A and B are shown apart, each in its own frame.
Chain A
């Protein structure tokens, strides 16, 4: 499968624990995006990387959230001290960049905080 992949697909954690998600974009896509989707809503932008540089962060991204893309390939999203309000689907998307705007989504990681 040459599409965007995410791991894990599901994560159940207790409040206060830290969690980390991974996203592998489509090969050669230099732009990578993280979105969050709650039930019945559209995805909401969290952050964006062009290669290894994190160029934009949403105000939705509190200090407990951090994202990295160390070598400009895969990316990780870490949530520290999880809260019940963090329960959501975390989606990753990638695009080729430049004039290629199309974003392709991964299957998402569903986080449940108990």
Chain B
């Protein structure tokens, strides 16, 4: 089955700095890679996603890059703000079979942005 590994597990940055979180996946059939932000006690919130037919996608201060050959993808947050503090999860879908794009999640990265 799919295995998704995420690094680092914790990340502390100064407000205004950039943050980068990296994930690797194992299933070459995966073709959809979302990122979720989860604040304490709240639901995972989809913040950006990328499909395997593109290498990069950007939405304001957030960007995601994908390297299909190396099977890794990364989340980049620029000009971090205290409200970016949360746990971030990467995920990869199962691109074949009946699983309807069930997601396998990484272990999460706790991002702390210090004011």
Contact = CB atoms under 8 A, between A and B. Distances in A.
A and B physically associate: yes
Interface of A: 4, 31, 33, 35, 40-45, 48, 50, 55-56, 91, 95, 97, 101-108
Interface stretch (B55-63, B69-77, B102-110): B102-110
A75 to B, nearest CB: 14
A102 B34 contact: yes
Contacts, number: 67
A104 B46 contact: yes
A50 B84 CA distance: 34
B49 A44 contact: no
Given A101-B93, A103-B34, A55 B43 contact: no
Interface residues of B, number: 27
Interface of A is mostly: strand
> Can you list the 7 inter-chain pairs with the closest CB atoms, starting with the nearest?
A42-B105, A55-B98, A105-B43, A56-B99, A45-B102, A101-B32, A105-B44
Nearest to B2: A45
Contacts of A41: 107-108
15 contacts: A31-B100, A42-B89, A42-B108, A45-B104, A55-B98, A91-B44, A95-B101, A101-B32, A102-B34, A102-B46, A103-B34, A103-B46, A103-B101, A105-B45, A106-B43
